[in-house]
Structure formats: structure tokens, C-alpha cells
Amino acid sequence: MCWSPPHEEARTWLLGELRSAGLEAWVDPAGNIFGGTGIGGLSPEKPVVLTGSHIDTVPEGGILDGALGVLAGLECLQTIRESGARHARPLAVAAWSDEEGRYGSLFGSRAFCGLLDVVRLDEMASVDGVRLVDAMARAGFDAHRAPQARVPPGAVNAYVELHIEQGPRLEEAGIPIGVVEAIVGVRRSRVIFHGQADHAGTTPMERRRDAFLAAADYALRVREHVVTRGSKASVTNFGVVHVHPGASNIVPGRAELVHEMRDPDVAVLERLAGECVALAREVAGTRHLRVEIQPMSATTPALCSPRVQAVTEKVCATLGLATRRLYSAAGHDAQNLTRVTDSGMIFIPSLGGRSHRVDEMSDWQAIERGTNALLHTLLALADGGD
Ligand code: GLV
Ligand code: MN
Ligand code: MN
């Protein structure tokens, strides 16, 4: 979890690894970690070809979501440096902070791409109530300086991120490399039903204004709505549920849900978001309680760079690796990077399509193939011959 003591230990470890690989290493004010070949910062005078991903993970998550892209990027840069392979442009690897959204979503890459909502920094708090400013301060960072991480225009020539697919499509098709053409947008909001706490034994059933039942009703209706009225790619989830006061002998007076929705098409996502607000009001009206909806974060769906896709396909053809174009159903820092440069992603198959769980894995050969695809994509982009 970003900014936590174990995360800060991992940051120190990574900085050590970057330096022992012969790279210049630095950390920006948003906590993003960089290692570069012969550069100690980013500037438009020497546009860099950048790779990377993230080292934070979800609760009870696996070892590859994020860490793969950072460590493969480090491995590629070390290999390039040690082999003396030619690259006209400098190369760098980034570990973006708080990709998993302890605070909003894709925090570090948003700061880097100038997408932070600066006026909200003071009020940003995690689901367990810890404020961003306090979490960052404890890790030695000043949250108010995070916007200074914004990259100067023209300083990044291209960005390419290696990641596990996190779903079943590549494995089921027997294709070793996915070339990402689009990345979903994710909307998160807190939906709070305010009912009435009451004695769970003595209050007649027909008099109860049970906030939990309203929340449950809403969750089921949203699922049905998204499945029947969304696109084929629309998905929704309720991953956080709090019931207050939280005692078995009290009718729940308040229920809070974190509602997440995703789609690669911004128009579909906007429409569904509006329809879900109407559904929440309808549920509240029918059950005689009040509903409050607080937007938490929204990322924009993004199209990946045709140049990066073409380079990856070309190098994979040379390496004898079959590719398939696909959209990413997970959010990634690469979608923010599309705002500042040519940005794309390379996917490898996930065993059983599993991710965000502790047994998330890919074959070691798949990891090697993906890292080779990344290595040659980086070299082709850095050579300027694309
Ligand atoms: C990233 O992990 C996501 O939730 O899409
Ligand atoms: Mn993840
Ligand atoms: Mn990830």
C-alpha cells in the first residue's frame, strides 16, 4: 500500500537496485521513482523513452501486477547498458506511486501528466480514513508539492509498459503477446444510504428503514442494469461495504458502498453513471430513505499510440512471437501517459486469467517472452528508426 512503511522499504530497495544496475536514480515530489541511462532527470533537450509500472499492490494481491513492469524495465535497461546496445535516445524506467488507488487512482502518473486535482489534495482520504497529506508526510513527502512532479512538455518521446493481462483472453487464445489498443476508464463513487437505526428485535418489519437492504437492492439493480444496458465491455463492482452502527441487534441506520464502474468508451461510461444515480434515487425513494453520492475518482478511457503498437508488432514478428490487439479491462498508468506522449502497453497471459489475488501468476517463459518484446520495443523506439 503506497506510503506505508513496507512500501517505503520497497522504495529504498528499488533505488538500491537501480543504482547497482548502473542507472542514475531519483524520486520526484509525487513519489515516482526513476532510473535512467546517463540522465538524472527528464528534460525536453533529451527526450527519453520511458518504461515502467508500479510497485504498490492491492490487499492480498499477487506478485506480478505492477512489479513485473518495473523489474522487467530495470532488467532491460541493465541489459542494454551492459551490452553497449546502441540507443540514440536516453532510456528510463519509472515506478509510479499509488497506482492501485489508495488515494483516487493512478496518483503518481496523474501528477506526472499534470492531471492532479490540486484543490482536492487536502481532503483526499483513503477508505480507512487516513488523509493523503498525513500518509505522505509520514513517508517524508509533502503532498502540496506533488503537482511539481509534472513533466516538462516534450521530455518523453514514448512510453511502453509491460503488464500481465489480468484476464483470460490471451491464455485462452494461446497468444503469447497482447498489444494494447485501448484502456478502460474507471469511475468510483461512494454511495451512502441514510435510513434509521432501530432495535432489531422490537421494530416491526414493515416500519424499518434499513440502510443495508437499500444498499443491497441498489447493488443488485446496478449489476442487472450494467449487464443488460451497458456495452459488452461494461463491468461494475462493489468492493467496499460499511454498515453502521454495525451491531447484530441494530437495524443498520447507514450503509456506505464504494461503487466502481468501467468501460473503454467514455460515452457508455457517462451514460451508465447517470443511470446509476437515477437508480440510487429510485431505491432510496421506494424504501423511504435518503441517498448521498460522492464522486471519488474518474479516469478517462484512453487510446494507445499507433506508433507504439506498430513497433511492438514489428519486433514481435522478428522474435517469432504471435500478437493480438486487445483492450485493457484494468486501469494503468499508461492511460495517463497518453496525455503527454505516445504511450502503449504489452500484455502477457495470466495463468487462469487470475489477478488481484494472491495466486496471480504467469509462466516464467511468458515473462521472458514479454521482457524480450519490451527490450526490443524500447530499443526500436530509442533508436528513432520507428
Ligand atoms: C488496477 O489495478 C485496476 O484496478 O484496474
Ligand atoms: Mn492492480
Ligand atoms: Mn497494475
Asked whether the whole model's pTM tops 0.85, one would answer yes
Cα dihedral: 262, 267, 273, 279 (round 10): -120
The protein residue whose alpha carbon is closest to atom 2 in ligand 1 is 100
Choose one of 109, 327, 356, 360 to mutate for the ligand 1 pocket test, by most ligand atoms within 8 angstroms of C-beta.
Answer: 356
**Which of 143, 140, 115 lies closest to 131, judged by CA?**
143
| DSSP codes, 238-297 | EEEEEEES--TTEE-SEEEEEEEEEES-HHHHHHHHHHHHHHHHHHHHHTT-EEEEEEEE
Q: What is the pLDDT of residue 386?
A: 58
pLDDT in tens, 113-127: 999 999 999 999 998
Q: Which bound ligand lies closest to the C-alpha atom of 105?
A: 1
Q: What is the pLDDT of residue 28?
A: 98
- Kindly list the protein residues whose Cβ atom lies closer than 6 A to any atom of ligand 1: 100, 330-331
pLDDT in tens, 179-200: 999 999 999 999 999 999 999 9
pLDDT over 90 at 284, yes or no: yes
Question: Rounded to the nearest whole angstrom, what is the distance from the C-alpha of residue 330 to the centroid of ligand 1?
Answer: 5
Q: For residues 343-365, give the mean pLDDT.
A: 98
Task: For residue 128, name the pLDDT band (cuts at 50, 70, 90).
Answer: confident
Task: For residue 385, name the pLDDT band (cuts at 50, 70, 90).
Answer: low
Q: What is the pLDDT of residue 47?
A: 97
Q: For residues 45-68, give the mean pLDDT.
A: 97
Q: What is the pLDDT of residue 289?
A: 98
pLDDT over 90 at 304, yes or no: yes
pLDDT in tens, 223-252: 999 999 999 999 999 999 999 999 999 999
